Chains A and B, each alone.
Chain A
Amino acid sequence: MRISVRLFGPPAALVGSTEVEVDFDHDAPTGAQLLEHLAAQLPELQDAMPAARLAVNHQFASNQQVIQSEDEVALIAMISGG
């Protein structure tokens, strides 16, 4: 199963892309599993990943949330609004 993850702001600049794809050898990964894969796949974000969160369909996702292939997934890290 392949999941596309949107990136914004400094994380996107560090990675050099506004989207990354993560492959799993099984369906329905959890939020925690996706974060683990992202951390391994994106060493540029090693400092940001401990505080990073996932958004699924515009809502923060828990580590236990199951992610489906049609979900809109974003990595929310290094935010700086206000």
Chain B
Amino acid sequence: MITITIHEGPISPATHEYTDAGAVICFEGVVRPTEDGRPIEALDYEVYEPMAQATLSQIAEQTRSRFGVLAIDVAHSRGRVPVGQCSFRLVIAGKHRKESLAAMDHYIDRLKQDAPIWKTPVYLTQNAETKP
């Protein structure tokens, strides 16, 4: 099973049940308090949504096929996410730890390479600047 969800703002805690899984791995990306050494209050995420949905789903299908994992659940924020809040969560369930961890690493690398999502730091000075 593959699930892709784009959330408005921060992502709430995960709840999941996977039958047949021996390993359930959850990665959460959290907004750091600084960008380039400057304090921020939040990140603004912009998502090219039709393409992001399709791309995240394609990556999930390829990852599931390559590593043989059972389920991939992806959630990514759009809009403003305050410091300390979750903006990205990836849950991968597999029969065993090794392929699940490898699938996790692979998925995140592909997301960062291909998903049409951009972030803009909101600095504490109130001056938003853009940064890749």
Report which A residues bind B (CB closer than 8 A): 6, 8-10, 13-14, 48, 55, 58-60, 74, 76, 78-82
Contacts and interface: CB of A to CB of B under 8 A. Distances in A.
Contact of B118 (A55, A60, A79): A79
A10 B132 contact: yes
Interface in B37-74: 45-48, 50-52, 54
A42 to B, nearest CB: 15
A10 B118 contact: yes
Contacts of A48: 132
B108 interface: yes
Interface stretch (B12-20, B91-99, B109-117): B109-117
B88 to A, nearest CB: 5
Contact of A78 (B47, B48, B76, B118): B118
Contacts of A81: 45, 47, 52, 76, 88, 111-112, 115-119
Contacts, number: 70
Given A9-B120, A9-B130, A79 B51 contact: no
Given A81-B76, A82-B117, 16 more contacts: A8-B48, A9-B118, A9-B120, A10-B132, A13-B120, A13-B130, A60-B114, A74-B51, A78-B132, A79-B112, A79-B114, A79-B116, A80-B117, A80-B118, A80-B119, A82-B76
30 contacts: A8-B118, A9-B118, A9-B120, A9-B130, A9-B132, A10-B118, A10-B130, A10-B132, A13-B120, A13-B130, A14-B130, A48-B132, A55-B48, A58-B54, A59-B51, A74-B48, A74-B51, A76-B48, A79-B112, A79-B114, A80-B119, A81-B45, A81-B47, A81-B117, A81-B118, A81-B119, A82-B29, A82-B76, A82-B111, A82-B112
